Amino acid sequence: MAAGFDVARVRRETPGCAEVHHFNNAGAALPSEPVVRAQVEHLELEARIGGYEAARVAAPRVERTYAALAELLNAQPSEIALLENATRAWDMAFYSIPLSPVDRILTSEVEYASNYLAFLQVARRSGAVVEVVPSVATGEVDLDALERALERPTALVAITHVPTSSGLVNPAAAIGRMTRAAGVPFLLDACQSIGQLPLDVEELGCDLLAGTSRKYLRGPRGAGMLYVRSSLLESLEPPLVDLRAADWTARDEYVLRGDAKRFETWEASHAIRVALGVAVDYALELGVDATWARIQELAASLRERLAELPGVELAEQGGAPCGIVTFVVAGRQAAEIRERLAERRVNVWPIPREHSRIDMEARGLAEVVRASVHYYNDDGDVDALCEALVGLTA
Ligand SMILES: Cc1ncc(COP(=O)(O)O)c(C=O)c1O
């Protein structure tokens, strides 16, 4: 399988490739060696000269992390905030939107559990109404239904781009065109798409975008990021503030900072922030167009191979699915599949209904096994996964 980058080099630079056949990239991908080294080196520097002092030394590298993420998304560095995970990044955006009992939030059937829990909490507190826009037969948001829903006053459209539970890719750019035309803020959960698909906030038309470090960006665990369109920023009051988010200007006054860092906290892991920047630069160097092409090819070949296996049934959705492949195995629990495959150093992950309840209930699925490919996987990995499954179903 030809790729637009040097796969052998990438595998050499990914120590985990020599250890496991990793198909849990939608959980946490294997980091590259430069990412791990950057994180460890910063921790060592902290130990040698002190944490605050090390942060001063690393300040230009942390600034590069903002700039690299901005480059990845076609945004400005001042529109990027770094948080501890994608959920908190999404929360900071969502809980900043003022909502009252007359307000409506529109979402999709594949919304991630944590987002939906926040909807429920805010609906309970404010009286705002959450409306789930129906899907077309292949699972994507029904754009005609969304257009009709947007004819009535709407406070927010919040959509998951790629769900945790299937290879579906929601038509984010088409949704963005509609929300722009309707003048409604659009919050995109790009947790599973950042680093996997090329993302351009101008093309997507989203005003807010939340992402994570550890999945397709191959960054360290414990980091998330938020993009906030500059034109919206001034109107958003973060639900929590600290002395990084705001200046305490007089005894009874504070002034929020003018960039997206108003959503951050002062204390953070600088080692993680430095390493995230290295991961984003690594992605930019390979080129997301090239890595996305390889992810799609590998996922298509895995789907074909799985479809041929007796006892294995794909649990797929999406007209043009991404690198997340899901399936069920007759008579076996997903957790058991994970355990048995792990014995053969093949990493997959069980996804229960509760992580994407609306979609999985509609499809009558209690759980699925998720095998998510990344660009560093190869045919040998796909063979190992399929052979391990044959061993189980034979
Ligand atoms: C679609 C989606 N959104 C949000 C999240 C939450 O991300 P995090 O665990 O970084 O908070 C996940 C995690 O798997 C996810 O799959």
User: What is the average per-residue pLDDT within 188-214?
Assistant: 98
Cα distance between residue 209 and residue 80, in whole Å? 9
CA of 191 to the centre of ligand 1 (A): 5
User: What is the average per-residue pLDDT within 82-105?
Assistant: 96
- How high is the pLDDT of residue 394? 65
- How high is the pLDDT of residue 391? 83
105 HSE (CA, 13 A, CB side): 26
Query: Are 260 and 233 within 8 A, CB to CB?
Result: yes
What CATH architecture is 7-29+287-393?
Alpha-Beta Complex (3.90)
Among 87, 108, 119, 160, name the best residue to mutate to test ligand 1's pocket (greatest count of ligand atoms within 8 A of Cβ): 87
pTM (global) more than 0.95: yes
Ligand 1, residue 161: give the atom nearest the CA.
1
CA of 27 to the centre of ligand 1 (A): 9
Q: Is 304 helix (H, G, I), strand (E, B) or coil?
A: helix
Residues 6+ apart with CB under 8 A from 53: none
User: What is the average per-residue pLDDT within 29-37?
Assistant: 98
Among 109, 170, 192, name the best residue to mutate to test ligand 1's pocket (greatest count of ligand atoms within 8 A of Cβ): 192
**Assigned CATH class of 36-285:** alpha beta
For residue 3, name the pLDDT band (cuts at 50, 70, 90). confident
Asked if pLDDT for residue 332 goes beyond 80, the answer is: yes
For residue 138, name the pLDDT band (cuts at 50, 70, 90). very high
CA of 347 to the centre of ligand 1 (A): 19
CA of 384 to the centre of ligand 1 (A): 27
Return the residue whose CA atom lies nearest to atom 7 of ligand 1.
86
User: What is the average per-residue pLDDT within 363-384?
Assistant: 98
Ligand 1 site residues (CB inside 6 A) read 85-87, 112, 114, 160, 163-164, 189, 191-192, 212, 224
Of the candidates 160, 157, 158, 208, the one whose C-alpha atom is nearest the C-alpha of residue 181 is 157
Q: Rounded to 5 degrees, what angle do the CA atoms 153, 206, 168 make?
A: 100
The domain ranges of the chain are 7-29+287-393, 36-285
Say whether 36-285 and 7-29+287-393 share the same fold. no
CA separation (Å) from 229 to 16, 77, 273, 280?
37, 11, 21, 20
Query: Are 208 and 229 within 8 A, CB to CB?
Result: yes
User: What is the average per-residue pLDDT within 380-388?
Assistant: 97
Cα distance between residue 331 and residue 6, in whole Å? 40
pLDDT tens across 270-307, in order? 999 999 999 999 999 999 999 999 999 999 999 999 99
Cα distance between residue 111 and residue 132, in whole Å? 9
Cα distance between residue 14 and residue 33, in whole Å? 6
CA of 383 to the centre of ligand 1 (A): 28
Residues 6+ apart with CB under 8 A from 2: none
User: What is the average per-residue pLDDT within 171-177?
Assistant: 98
- How high is the pLDDT of residue 324? 98
- How high is the pLDDT of residue 392? 86
CA separation (Å) from 135 to 71, 150, 386?
32, 15, 31
User: What is the average per-residue pLDDT within 195-202?
Assistant: 98
E strand residue ranges, the chain: 21-22, 80-83, 104-107, 129-132, 156-160, 186-189, 208-212, 224-228, 246-250, 253-256, 312-314, 324-329, 346-347, 349-352, 367-372
Asked if pLDDT for residue 52 goes beyond 70, the answer is: yes
Give the length of the chain: 394
- How high is the pLDDT of residue 263? 98
CA of 307 to the centre of ligand 1 (A): 27
DSSP 328-376: EETT--HHHHHHHHHTTTEE-EEEEGGGSHHHHHHTT-SEEEEEE--TT
For residue 337, name the pLDDT band (cuts at 50, 70, 90). very high
Cα distance between residue 53 and residue 112, in whole Å? 39
CA of 87 to the centre of ligand 1 (A): 6
Among 24, 92, 108, 114, name the best residue to mutate to test ligand 1's pocket (greatest count of ligand atoms within 8 A of Cβ): 114
CA of 86 to the centre of ligand 1 (A): 6
Among 110, 194, 212, name the best residue to mutate to test ligand 1's pocket (greatest count of ligand atoms within 8 A of Cβ): 212
